[in-house]
């Protein structure tokens, strides 16, 4: 039998699939490229889904029909696994001949999962692969240390210092009573992040149940926060970042793994970040969440780590780089990876986006054609029920206001809801405003990147409730501006 060499072919999900925990699901997947392949193939599942998605499969030999094959997957995890259309789930190898004694696969080389760095990258849709993949893989090979859990998480010569504004010691407290389940969860806390302590600056532990039914370990630092001296640092404005980053051709975003916990505390600061449990008193060796000014301090450190890197934006632990040129983009990715490796920090590869046509960043989707709200974030806001209290009304308005730049006449639509701040009496007019605002959120405009070499058109409007304007270029909205009238302004004469 003659031997024919052929590269392995990629396998992508044909339609959206949800696999419940403990369930076995059969669905269709498409082979790419699908030319000259009407033979039998064997499936090689992507290691990402084995390790992070807890998906299992049988040793399957399937016949390809019109580029489509059936796939059987088992979810061995505790949470549902969502596979979106065009998600890369693995590869197939063509089989030359099947008989009782021989099974010959055309691919000669067998690479172990832990040695194939290409396979450890998060899968991405087939239609979003704008950068040269081989060049990208070379970058990843050079950055192996920041993509694994090997090595210590330590920042050389950069330590966080927490200063107290008073020598007052808070009242001694006892550990909170907890169920055996919660006590077991507390016992799992990593010894690499905490150490035994005898400090009097004690705080209680709170366990918060997450959506996936797992526990989030939280320390209530409120009593300690009142004693800490504020150290302010400028956190970048989100609208400034999104405005500058929109309109590019290539996007890559990085997510730091347990961002705050990668920053070590100096010896004196550790005595302040202390908590008490049923097993005793412990202090953090790394920066915890919940301390006053933590975001400012973390932003300051990240600004130092990525100091003066071109085309790079950082908002706390979310890093973005974007350009219009492919070679420059690859160079920028390399510079960021080198800088992160220099400080021995780690990246959460599963949450990174490499070389995309667009990027989900800070609640928005940035792309060549502009900025628009992230659909998932909008759905989360629109899923809120009618407010029953003043606090719930403020919460909804706060979430909706995050996208106000994309909603024409936002203040006029939400005016009735803002008036509930004085006295909460829910009426039909508030229900109408609530529903109108949800509809406006679902149809938020895409703001295009302005071209300073071309003319602008400004549209203005006013009413008894407020006034606004729209900046337009080539019939595409660049920005909206609107606000309600202040009480004194309602008395101004119309001139």
Give me the sheet containing 466-473, strands edge to edge.
457-462, 466-473, 476-484
Radius of gyration of the chain from Cα atoms?
27
d(CA 170, CA 308): 42
Tens-level pLDDT at each residue, the chain (495 residues): 333 334 578 888 888 888 887 777 888 888 887 666 666 777 777 776 766 566 777 666 667 777 888 888 877 777 788 888 888 888 887 765 555 454 444 443 333 333 444 444 444 443 344 566 566 666 665 555 665 554 445 554 567 778 887 777 777 777 777 766 666 666 656 657 888 898 888 888 887 776 666 777 788 888 888 888 877 777 888 989 998 999 899 999 988 877 788 888 888 889 999 988 888 888 998 888 888 878 888 888 899 889 989 999 999 888 999 999 988 998 999 899 888 888 888 887 777 888 888 989 989 999 998 899 998 889 988 998 999 999 999 999 989 989 988 888 888 888 889 888 888 899 999 999 999 999 988 888 788 877 778 888 888 887 777 788 888 887 778 887 877 778 788 788 766
User: How far is 118 from 144, CA to CA, in rounded Å?
Assistant: 11
CB atoms within 10 A of CB 370: 22
307 three-class SS: coil
Q: What is the pLDDT of residue 115?
A: 40
pLDDT in tens, 457-495: 888 887 777 788 888 887 778 887 877 778 788 788 766
Do 346 and 360 share a domain, yes or no? yes
The model's pLDDT over 356-392, given as tens digits with 9 standing for 90+, comes to 889 899 899 999 988 999 988 899 889 989 999 999 9
CA distance 355 to 130: 6
Tokens of 486: 């202040």
The encoded tokens of residue 382 equal: 């629109």
Q: How many domains does the chain have?
A: 3
- Position 351 scores a pLDDT of 78
Decide if 364 contacts 372 (C-beta within 8 A): yes
Can you tell me the distance from the alpha carbon of 335 to that of 102, in angstroms, rounded to the nearest whole number? 49
Within a domain: 196:
no
Please write the tens of the pLDDT for every residue from 82-137: 888 888 888 887 765 555 454 444 443 333 333 444 444 444 443 344 566 566 66
Backbone angles phi and psi of 195, in degrees to 5: -150, 155
Residue ending a domain, choose from 352, 370, 388: 370
Q: Is 221 among the domain residues? A: no
Give CA–CA dist 410/446, Å, rounded.
15
Whether residue 312 sits in one domain with residue 436: no
Q: Are residues 377 and 360 part of one domain?
A: no
Q: Is residue 377 domain-shared with residue 358, that is, in the same domain? A: no
The percent helix, strand, coil of the chain (3-state, each to 5) is 30, 30, 45
* CATH code assigned at 251: 3.30.70.270
- 378 assigned to some structural domain: yes
Which residues lie closer than 8 Å to 153 by C-beta, 6 or more apart?
A: 192, 261, 262, 286, 344, 345, 346
Is residue 120 assigned to a domain? no
Spatial CA neighbour of 56 closest among 13, 90, 14? 90
Put residue 224 in one of left, alpha, beta given phi > 0 → left and psi -120 to 50 → alpha.
alpha
Q: At 52, which CATH number? A: 2.70.40.10
- Cα angle 478-480-481, degrees, rounded to a multiple of 5: 140
pTM of the model: 0.67
Within a domain: 111: no
In a domain, residue 348? The reply is: yes
**Residue 32: Cβ within 10 Å count:** 15
Q: Tell me: do 20 and 100 sit in the same domain.
A: yes
Question: Rounded distance, CA 315 to CA 326, Å?
Answer: 24
Last residue of a domain, one of 64, 79, 106: 106
Which of 106, 136, 156 finishes a domain? Answer: 106
Range of the domain at 101: 10-106
Non-local (6+) Cβ contacts of 326 within 8 A are 130, 131, 132, 249, 250
Does residue 446 sit in the same domain as residue 380? yes
Q: Per DSSP, what are the bridge partners of residue 360? A: 365
Please give the DSSP secondary-structure letter assigned to residue 15. Answer: S
Indicate if the alpha-carbon torsion angle 107, 113, 116, 120 is positive or negative: positive
């Amino acid at each position: 039998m003659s031997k024919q060499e052929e590269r392995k072919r990629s396998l992508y999900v044909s339609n959206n699939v949800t696999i419940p925990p403990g369930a076995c699901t059969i669905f269709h997947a498409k082979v790419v490229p699908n030319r000259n392949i009407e033979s039998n193939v064997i499936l090689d599942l992507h290691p990402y889904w084995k390790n992070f998605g807890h998906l299992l499969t049988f040793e399957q030999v399937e016949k390809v029909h019109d580029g489509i094959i059936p796939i059987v997957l088992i979810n061995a995890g505790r949470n549902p696994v969502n596979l979106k259309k065009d998600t890369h789930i693995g590869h197939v190898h063509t089989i030359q001949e099947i008989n009782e004694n021989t099974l010959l696969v055309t691919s000669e080389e067998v690479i172990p999962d832990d040695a194939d760095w290409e396979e450890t990258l998060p899968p991405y849709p087939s239609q979003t692969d704008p950068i040269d993949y081989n060049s990208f893989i070379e970058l990843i090979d050079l950055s192996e240390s920041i993509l694994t859990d090997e090595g210590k998480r330590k920042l050389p010569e950069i330590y966080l210092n927490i200063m107290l504004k008073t020598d007052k010691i808070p009242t001694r407290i006892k550990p909170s009573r907890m169920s055996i389940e919660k006590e077991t969860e507390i016992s799992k806390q990593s010894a690499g992040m905490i150490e035994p302590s005898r400090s009097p600056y004690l705080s209680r532990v709170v366990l918060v149940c997450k959506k996936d039914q797992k526990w989030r370990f939280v320390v209530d630092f409120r009593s300690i926060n009142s004693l800490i001296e504020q150290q302010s640092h400028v956190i970048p404005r989100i609208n400034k970042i999104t405005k500058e980053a929109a309109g590019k051709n290539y996007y890559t975003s990085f997510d730091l793994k347990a961002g705050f916990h990668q920053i070590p505390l100096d010896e004196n600061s550790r005595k302040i970040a202390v908590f008490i449990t049923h097993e005793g008193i412990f202090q953090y060796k790394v920066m915890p969440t919940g301390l006053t000014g933590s975001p400012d301090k973390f932003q300051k450190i990240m600004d130092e780590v990525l100091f003066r890197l071109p085309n790079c934006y950082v908002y706390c632990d979310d890093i973005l780089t974007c350009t219009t040129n492919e070679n420059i983009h690859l160079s920028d990715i390399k510079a960021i990876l080198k800088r992160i490796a220099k400080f021995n920090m780690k990246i959460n590869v599963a949450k990174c986006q490499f070389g995309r046509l667009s990027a989900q960043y800070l609640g928005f989707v940035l792309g060549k054609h502009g900025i628009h709200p992230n659909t998932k974030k909008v759905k989360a806001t629109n899923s809120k029920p009618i407010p029953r209290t003043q606090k719930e009304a403020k919460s909804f308005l706060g979430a909706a206001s995050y996208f106000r730049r994309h909603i024409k006449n936002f203040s006029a639509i939400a005016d009735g809801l803002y008036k509930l701040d004085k006295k909460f009496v829910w009426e039909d007019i508030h229900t109408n405003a609530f529903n109108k605002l949800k509809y406006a959120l679902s149809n938020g405009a895409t703001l295009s990147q302005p071209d300073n070499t071309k003319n602008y058109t400004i549209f203005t409007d006013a009413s008894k409730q407020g006034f606004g304007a729209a900046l337009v270029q080539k019939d595409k909205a660049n920005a909206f501006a609107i606000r309600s009238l202040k009480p004194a302004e309602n008395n101004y004469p119309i001139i």
